[in-house]
């Protein structure tokens, strides 16, 4: 009787059971965020420190972006550190804590009830991040490999924990006055630790590994990535110190300059990887992920305008709103759209067809979702994003509402394709 053996320890991957709940949760969170956007579009003509704006932002930052990154992180962490995930149990625990905490926090913001729903929500979210961090730290400690991508991802997770800890303090500060200033004063600190420390570091760390891999690029420049790593962390630490101790407006230019330089270097890295690729044909998913790098220019321009206004002693809230909107609904969403349909079909294919590998014809992972729905989603997404950004700038509620409906349509199409994938059953070719 023929048999076979392989050294499984070298290839054992994270189970789909760990990863799928995060993907499903994130997809539903996007739908909730877009629906909230549609029913509360008018708040985007008001000050950014508004309960409903905070609810939408946290649905996007935690429910959509963070849940998706944590899910994909459990799958990609072994690729980055070349070592299997330490514990599936901690991954499940991380999901349960986050899945419970996020709705509590979003509900608390939406109704501006900063008592127990916000407090329990924040505690649960911190517990989820702690579980992920411990899992990552132990997995990393068992790995013999030290690479820049893993260091990026681990540092990003440390910044995420710091962000959620500051968030926890801010939540309690609403009722207990434990900080010297009001919560609005620390909002910028909390937001930028999350945006730069968590999201930007993670996107650059993982993106710089995946992009050359998907393009089969000859380009490899870890030293450039170390420079980017140093520039971002220096800039962010400088920003934190200035925000807490120094309070010098002119010193804000230092982190702006270092992070801007880091972004330019990363754009150069992506361009070089693209130019030196062996694979000429690029699929739609990679294209939209590459386009997200260009989309970073929208928050950048609005941020520079907001900073200029700060120097002139005035602040137009629309630039800050456009800055936040274009980060979560622009840059981050575009990356996730691309990467969902680059990774999820393979996870599902492995779940459904891996036992049949080499025993007959099976569908290609790319055939497990509808490319027509994907294209329709991309069209409604860009139309909705551009129109909503224009609506913020023009402060026109009707434009905002119309754009929000396009984004709801985008979220429905995204969920449709995700659930087509999740419920895919074995198909005979």
Partner 1 sequence: MNVITNDNFKCSIALVVLRDVIDPEICLSVVDLGLIYQVDFDEEYRNIFVRMTLTTQFCPMGDSIVCAVTHALENSFPEYTVRTTLTFTPPWKNTMISEIGQEYLNK
Q: Which is nearer to partner 1, 287 or 308 (CB)?
A: 287
Q: Which residues pair with 277 in a beta bridge?
A: 217
> Please, what is the end-to-end C-alpha distance for the chain in angstroms?
28
Among 77, 76, 98, smallest CA distance to 24 is for 98
Among 4, 181, 223, 423, binds partner 1 (CB under 8 A): 4
**Alpha-helical runs (H) found in 16-66:** 16-39, 51-58
Give 8 or 146: the residue with its C-beta nearer to partner 1: 8
Q: Which residue bears the tokens 């009787």?
A: 1
User: Helix 297-311 to helix 284-295 angle, to the nearest 10 degrees?
Assistant: 10
Residue whose token pair is 């702006």: 256
Among 7, 181, 312, 429, binds partner 1 (CB under 8 A): 7
SS3 277: strand
Q: Residues 341 to 380: which contact partner 1 by CB under 8 A? A: 343, 346-347, 349-350, 353-355, 357-359, 364-366
Residues 6+ apart with CB under 8 A from 31: 408, 411, 412, 414, 415
Task: Decide: is 278 part of the binding site for partner 1 (CB under 8 A).
Answer: yes
Measured in whole angstroms, how far is the alpha carbon of residue 120 from the centre of its chain? 23
Residues 8-37 that bind partner 1 (CB under 8 A): 8, 10-13
Residue nearer to partner 1 on the CB measure, 216 or 398: 216
Give 185 or 351: the residue with its C-beta nearer to partner 1: 351
Residue 157: Cβ within 10 Å count: 24
Handedness of CA 238, 242, 244, 246 (dihedral sign): positive
Q: How far is CA 43 from CA 47, 76, 397, in A?
A: 8, 37, 9
Let me know: does 250 contact 194? Beta carbons within 8 Å.
no
Q: Taking the CA atoms of 93, 94, 96 and 97 in sequence, report the sign of the dihedral they define.
A: positive
> In angstroms, what is the minimal distance from the CB of 418 to partner 1?
17
> Within 10 Å of residue 376's Cβ, how many Cβ atoms?
16
Rounded CA separation 325/334 (Å): 13
Give the integer Cα–Cα distance in Å for 214 and 345: 15
Compare residues 72 and 392 and give the one whose CB is closer to partner 1.
Answer: 72
Q: How far is the CB of 331 from partner 1 (least distance, A)?
A: 25
Considering the complex, state which of residue 216 and residue 246 has its C-beta at the smaller distance from partner 1: 216
Which residue, 6 or 312, is less far from partner 1 as judged by CB? 6
Q: Which is nearer to partner 1, 4 or 312 (CB)?
A: 4
C-beta of 359: minimal distance to partner 1 in Å? 5
**Degrees, nearest 5: CA angle 171-173-175:** 90
How many residues lie near partner 1 (CB under 8 A)? 40
Residue 84 within binding range of partner 1, rule CB under 8 A: yes
Two tokens at 243? 């925000």
Which residues inside 216-255 make contact with partner 1, applying CB under 8 A? Answer: 216-218
Q: Give the integer Cα–Cα distance in Å for 429 and 367.
A: 12
For residues 79 and 386, which CB has a smaller minimum distance to partner 1 in the complex? 79
Find, among 70, 228, 235, the residue nearest to 157 by Cα: 70
Q: Interface residues for partner 1 in 179-218 (CB under 8 A)?
A: 213-214, 216-218
Residues 373-392, mask of contacts with partner 1 (x by CB under 8 A):
--------------------
By CB under 8 A, name the one of 78, 92, 151, 420 that touches partner 1.
Answer: 78
Candidate ranges 5-13, 176-184, 331-339, 374-382; the one touching partner 1 (CB under 8 A): 5-13
Degrees to nearest 5, angle at CA 64 with 60 and 66 = 100
Shortest spacing between CB 353 and partner 1, in angstroms: 7
Q: Pick the stretch among 232-240, 278-286, 305-313, 416-424 that binds partner 1 (CB under 8 A).
A: 278-286
Region near partner 1 per CB under 8 A, out of 51-59, 233-241, 275-283, 312-320: 275-283
Say whether residue 428 binds partner 1 (CB under 8 A). no
Q: Of these, 5, 146, 250, 429, which contacts partner 1 (CB under 8 A)? A: 5
422 binds partner 1 (CB under 8 A): no
What single DSSP character describes residue 145?
Answer: -
Nearer CB in complex with partner 1: 3/180: 3
Q: Decide: is 87 part of the binding site for partner 1 (CB under 8 A).
A: no
**Residue with smaller CB distance to partner 1, 82 or 316:** 82
Interacting residue ranges for partner 1, rule: CB under 8 A = 2-8, 10-13, 75, 78-79, 82-84, 213-214, 216-218, 278-281, 343, 346-347, 349-350, 353-355, 357-359, 364-366
């Amino acid at each position: 009787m023929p048999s076979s053996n392989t050294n499984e320890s070298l290839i054992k991957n994270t189970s789909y059971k760990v990863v799928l709940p995060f993907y499903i949760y994130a997809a539903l969170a996007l739908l909730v965020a877009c629906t909230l956007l549609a029913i509360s579009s008018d708040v985007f003509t008001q000050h950014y420190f508004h309960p409903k704006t905070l609810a939408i932002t946290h649905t996007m930052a935690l429910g959509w972006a963070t849940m998706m990154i944590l899910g994909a992180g459990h799958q990609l962490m072994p690729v980055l550190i070349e070592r299997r995930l330490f514990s599936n149990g901690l991954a499940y625990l991380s999901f349960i804590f986050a899945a419970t905490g996020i709705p509590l926090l979003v509900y608390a913001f939406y109704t501006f009830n900063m008592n127990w729903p916000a407090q329990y929500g924040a505690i649960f979210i911190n517990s989820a991040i702690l579980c992920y961090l411990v899992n990552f730290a132990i997995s990393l400690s068992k790995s013999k490999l030290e690479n820049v991508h893993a260091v990026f991802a681990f540092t990003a997770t440390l910044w995420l924990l710091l962000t959620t800890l500051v968030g926890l303090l801010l939540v309690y500060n609403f009722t207990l006055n434990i900080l010297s200033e009001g919560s609005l004063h620390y909002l910028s600190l909390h937001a930028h630790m999350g945006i730069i420390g968590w999201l930007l570091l993670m996107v650059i760390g993982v993106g710089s590994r995946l992009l050359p891999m998907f393009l089969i690029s000859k380009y490899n420049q870890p030293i450039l990535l170390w420079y980017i790593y140093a520039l971002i962390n220096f800039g962010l630490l400088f920003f934190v110190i200035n925000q807490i101790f120094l309070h010098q407006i002119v010193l804000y230019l230092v982190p702006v300059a270092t992070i801007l330089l880091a972004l330019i270097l990363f754009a150069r890295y992506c361009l070089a990887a693209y130019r030196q690729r062996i694979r000429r044909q690029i699929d739609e998913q990679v294209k939209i992920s590459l386009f997200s790098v260009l989309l970073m220019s929208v928050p950048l321009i609005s941020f520079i305008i907001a900073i200029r206004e700060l120097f002139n002693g005035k602040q137009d809230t629309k630039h800050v709103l456009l800055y936040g909107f274009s980060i979560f609904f622009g840059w981050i969403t575009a990356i996730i759209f691309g990467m969902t349909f680059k990774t999820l079909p393979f996870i599902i294919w492995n779940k459904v067809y891996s036992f049949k590998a080499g025993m007959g014809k099976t569908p290609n992972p790319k055939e497990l979702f509808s490319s027509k729905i994907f294209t329709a989603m991309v069209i409604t997404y860009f139309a909705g994003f551009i129109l909503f950004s224009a609506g913020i700038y023009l402060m026109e509620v009707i434009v905002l509402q119309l754009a929000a409906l396009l984004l709801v349509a985008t979220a429905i199409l995204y969920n449709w394709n995700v659930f087509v994938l999740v419920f895919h059953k074995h198909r005979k070719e």
